[in-house]
Amino acid sequence: MLAGVARAERPEASQGEGAPVELTTPPDAGAPLAQREGQVEFAIPPTDAGISLAPDAGEPEPLDGTGGEFETLVTAGREDAPGDRASTVVRRADLDRRLPRSTPDAVRFEPGVFVQRTAHGQASVFIRGLTGQQTVLLFDGVRLNTSTWRQGPNQYFFTLDSASIDSLEVLRGGASTSFGADALGGVVAVKPLEAPDGRSGPMVRSSVTLRARSADDDVSGRAQVEAAAGPVGFIGGVGGRNVGLLESAGVVRGLSGTVAEVPRFLDDGRTQLGTGFKELTFDARATLHLGDRHSLTAALYGYRQFDAPRTDQCPPPGARFDECLTITEQFRTLAYLKWALALSDASLDITASWQRQLERREGVRPASFVASTGRDVVDSFGGTARLVTRDFRPAEGVTLRARGGADTWVDLVESRAWLSFTDLGLTIERSRGQYLSGSRAATGGGFAELELDTPGRFSLRAGGRLGSASVDAPGDAESGSLAIARRWLPLAATGGVQWKATNALTLAVNADHSFRAPNLDDLTSRQQTGPGFQFENPSLAPETATTVEAGAKLRTPLVSVDAWVFQTWLAAAIGKQPRSIADCPPMTPQCAASFSRLQLVNTPGLSDLRGLEVSARLRLPHGLGARATFNATWGEGPNLIPQPVDPAAPWQSRVPLSRIPPLNGIAELSWTDGARLSTAASVQWAGPQDRLAIADLSDARIPSGGTPGFVVVDLRAAVRLSSFLSASLVLENLFDQPWRAHGSSVNGPGRGVMLALTGSWSSVR
């Protein structure tokens, strides 16, 4: 029988900020088996093969001293992040304390992560200098990436409601073996709130949360209900949000001393145009326990965002104040069925999913009496099966475990566009949209991975994946768009060695080879990007990433330290190459009218990414704690501009990669008074970034000469006012410093207040 141990950390032992977290028995848990300092342990039957990004390669100490009855370790605290991969976890308690503006904002305190704010209603997570198509986002094991995701930052992680999330796990480094195409830089896996278990008795619990933020007049709320009776549990909620113009601390000057072209401001010099949006969210999740070992879950999650301006195009640089490109509808709907089975020697998850991503854009130019509209719909159908075996012990001191699975994802695309002449009341449908309607893309494959623990305190890990990818798109003669039918059979592999040098110190070395095949955005799209108008390249080849990393993990009762260095080589990396007006495709007047034109091409030779990531946590007496991170990323690749004929003209064979984050990190000091009150002061900082790619130089979102550094101080407190009412308060940007994350369209908020009140009521029969 496969059994396990769940560890629920006490606040004073694991939460560096000492949140007022209620310690409760996990669903399906039995009576506590043992209680040790800082944690409570329960025996549980793990019915979920799960999507833990970096399963623990170590073996837990047997609780009864008889040789290890419990073979799977399910961790519940950031300090238990496995030592063989670089990964961290953001818990629900962290979200409740920090009050992030969005789901991407929730991971900005994690090592190796940098969050760029493409617009007020958009944000993109950089992991080790990569984002967009080159990272993978998962929601309860379901792949959110579609074949229309852009090369650079995108808005789609923003469409997850942070109020419905239980935790976010960030795995840094290539991960295509386990998670398929696109995982060149890493993976963010989101775990939603689970439905309660009513087998110990029926229960109903409801809650209402109200939030307000002063910097953008953000008012939001969520109502949630949980219910369980017998084998059935349910959790669901609805939320709404109305966000106004974002007030910053003032303009941000580039390193050359000039003011950035984006964003524009009202006369007060603080309030940013092209900001504000509205959103609605809904979710429902029901779980049926089929005995003690199996469960079936049905889930539905929806996000509806309205009237979100694209800040760098509202207005565009140099244009009239009334020109604006607005995403009038950014909708995402996800539905899936998940069957979790606990077999005699393994656990298995099988998931079938459907996701619809709908985006409607409207660009207006009142002085020219022209409006353009685009609408793209992507329906994604997916299926996954994941298996994790129990630990086998073929010899004394030797432990063997395996995991594997298969997945497949299919995208069907509808794309349309219209041009309206407002003075004539005339609307014309264009022959194609941003993509080619009727396009289809598929990706998937199978993988297997083995882990071996040896008597010499070494753990070995190796695995591989055989993948498949295809893209099909119809041609369009009127716009000069070629028909596409492309097929690839990419390979991925991973391996690592971990050595537990002492009880406190673990050392690890890993190697990974991951892949990304060109998607529909690369091969067929025509769109206005920050650096200029970008058009398709149907002959692109796949890009691959080979990563080597080394890490050390120190764990003592007083201090915890993680340190990782990495080197990534990108082969055939896809980058933007400047083009002339003569290269513009037919029937695309916006290409000729753009300030620059770009086409995606495969970079010859290798591009390099390397960096250092350090995180440390200090636990002090009397409820005091401290935490800090330090991140350094460097990137360089071949110059995509041909060498000038004139040998005296300035030219370099290798140039910086685009949007590489500057030196950055955080520092936090916290104090906790029992289980009712927690307080913290945090500093988020970044150095200047003046190493700019060719595309960065023409990007109005990046100030002239580069983005200056910043230091932002926040204060926060969380308090349980009564048995049914709690509150969280954040004073952000205490010293009102102008700041901007490198590559963002919006400046960060100025001095402001964020407040959240949560009331909850429950009944148990």
What is residue 20's predicted lDDT score, i.e. its pLDDT?
A: 35
| pLDDT band at residue 765 under the 50/70/90 scheme | low
Global pTM reads 0.89
What is residue 16's predicted lDDT score, i.e. its pLDDT?
A: 37
- Say yes or no to pLDDT of 157 above 50: yes
| pLDDT band at residue 647 under the 50/70/90 scheme | confident
What is residue 532's predicted lDDT score, i.e. its pLDDT?
A: 84
- Helix (H, G, I), strand (E, B), or coil: what is residue 600? strand
What is residue 334's predicted lDDT score, i.e. its pLDDT?
A: 98
Q: Report the range of poorest mean pLDDT among 72-86, 157-171, 249-263, 330-344.
A: 72-86
- Say yes or no to pLDDT of 6 above 70: no
* 654-678 mean pLDDT: 93
Question: If residue 88 lies in a helix (H) or strand (E), which one and from where to where?
Answer: strand 86-91
| pLDDT band at residue 23 under the 50/70/90 scheme | very low
Question: What pairs with residue 303 in β-bridges?
Answer: 281, 332
Residues above pLDDT 90, as percent of the chain: 75
| pLDDT band at residue 452 under the 50/70/90 scheme | very high
The answer to whether the CB of 720 falls within 8 A of the CB of 676 is: yes
What is residue 45's predicted lDDT score, i.e. its pLDDT?
A: 35
| pLDDT band at residue 200 under the 50/70/90 scheme | confident
Q: Report the range of poorest mean pLDDT among 45-49, 139-143, 180-184, 283-287.
A: 45-49
Q: How, if at all, do strands 597-602 and 532-535 pair?
A: parallel
- Say yes or no to pLDDT of 39 above 80: no
Q: How, if at all, do strands 186-192 and 135-139 pair?
A: parallel
Q: How, if at all, do strands 752-764 and 198-213 pair?
A: antiparallel
Q: How, if at all, do strands 664-673 and 710-720 pair?
A: unpaired
Q: Which residue has the higher pLDDT, 338 or 81?
A: 338
Angle at 735 between CA 731 and CA 739, to 5 degrees: 95
What is residue 66's predicted lDDT score, i.e. its pLDDT?
A: 28
* 663-676 mean pLDDT: 92
Q: Which residue has the higher pLDDT, 645 or 412?
A: 412
What is residue 694's predicted lDDT score, i.e. its pLDDT?
A: 84
What is residue 471's predicted lDDT score, i.e. its pLDDT?
A: 97
- Helix (H, G, I), strand (E, B), or coil: what is residue 697? helix
What is residue 586's predicted lDDT score, i.e. its pLDDT?
A: 87
C-alpha 530/C-alpha 434 separation (Å) is 16
What is residue 49's predicted lDDT score, i.e. its pLDDT?
A: 43
| pLDDT band at residue 246 under the 50/70/90 scheme | very high
Q: Which residue has the higher pLDDT, 66 or 401?
A: 401
List CB contacts of 621: < 8 A, sequence separation 6 or more. Answer: none
Q: How many domains does the chain have?
A: 1
| pLDDT band at residue 10 under the 50/70/90 scheme | very low
* 724-744 mean pLDDT: 96
The answer to whether the CB of 542 falls within 8 A of the CB of 516 is: yes
Cα separations in angstroms, 651 against 38, 257, 576, 647, 694: 59, 25, 17, 9, 11
- Say yes or no to pLDDT of 82 above 50: no
C-alpha 492/C-alpha 545 separation (Å) is 10
What is residue 43's predicted lDDT score, i.e. its pLDDT?
A: 32
Among candidate residues 163, 144, 44, 143, the one with its CA nearest the CA of residue 102: 163
The answer to whether the CB of 663 falls within 8 A of the CB of 683 is: no
C-alpha 379/C-alpha 376 separation (Å) is 10
Residues above pLDDT 70, as percent of the chain: 89
Domain span holding position 435: 4-764
Number of CB atoms found within 10 A of residue 690's CB: 14
| pLDDT band at residue 56 under the 50/70/90 scheme | very low
Among candidate residues 269, 320, 59, the one with its CA nearest the CA of residue 736: 269
* 178-191 mean pLDDT: 96
Q: Report the range of poorest mean pLDDT among 131-145, 521-535, 672-686, 705-719.
A: 521-535
Q: How large is the C-alpha radius of gyration of the chain?
A: 26
Among candidate residues 356, 535, 365, 575, the one with its CA nearest the CA of residue 434: 535
- Average pLDDT of the chain is 88
What is residue 445's predicted lDDT score, i.e. its pLDDT?
A: 97
Strand ranges (E), 456-558: 458-473, 484-488, 491-500, 505-516, 527-529, 532-535, 543-555
> Which region, left, alpha or beta, applies to residue 339 given φ > 0 means left and ψ of -120 to 50 means alpha?
beta
| pLDDT band at residue 27 under the 50/70/90 scheme | very low
C-alpha 225/C-alpha 286 separation (Å) is 12
- Say yes or no to pLDDT of 757 above 90: yes
For tokens 């995991």, the residue is 403
**DSSP assignment of 339-374, as one string?**
EEEE-SSEEEEEEEEEEEEEEEEEEEEGGGTEEEEE
What is residue 139's predicted lDDT score, i.e. its pLDDT?
A: 97
Q: Report the range of poorest mean pLDDT among 3-7, 237-241, 469-473, 564-568.
A: 3-7
| pLDDT band at residue 53 under the 50/70/90 scheme | low
Q: Which residue has the higher pLDDT, 700 or 730?
A: 730
What is residue 12's predicted lDDT score, i.e. its pLDDT?
A: 32
> Which region, left, alpha or beta, applies to residue 274 given φ > 0 means left and ψ of -120 to 50 means alpha?
left
C-alpha 96/C-alpha 188 separation (Å) is 19
What is residue 83's predicted lDDT score, i.e. its pLDDT?
A: 52
C-alpha 157/C-alpha 122 separation (Å) is 8
CATH number of the domain within which 691 lies:
2.40.170.20
- Say yes or no to pLDDT of 648 above 90: no
- Say yes or no to pLDDT of 65 above 50: no
- Say yes or no to pLDDT of 584 above 50: yes
Number of CB atoms found within 10 A of residue 458's CB: 13
What is residue 217's predicted lDDT score, i.e. its pLDDT?
A: 97
- Say yes or no to pLDDT of 24 above 50: no
C-alpha 569/C-alpha 184 separation (Å) is 10
Cα separations in angstroms, 664 against 196, 655, 661: 39, 21, 8
What is residue 222's predicted lDDT score, i.e. its pLDDT?
A: 97
Question: What pairs with residue 421 in β-bridges?
Answer: 370, 426
C-alpha 431/C-alpha 659 separation (Å) is 34
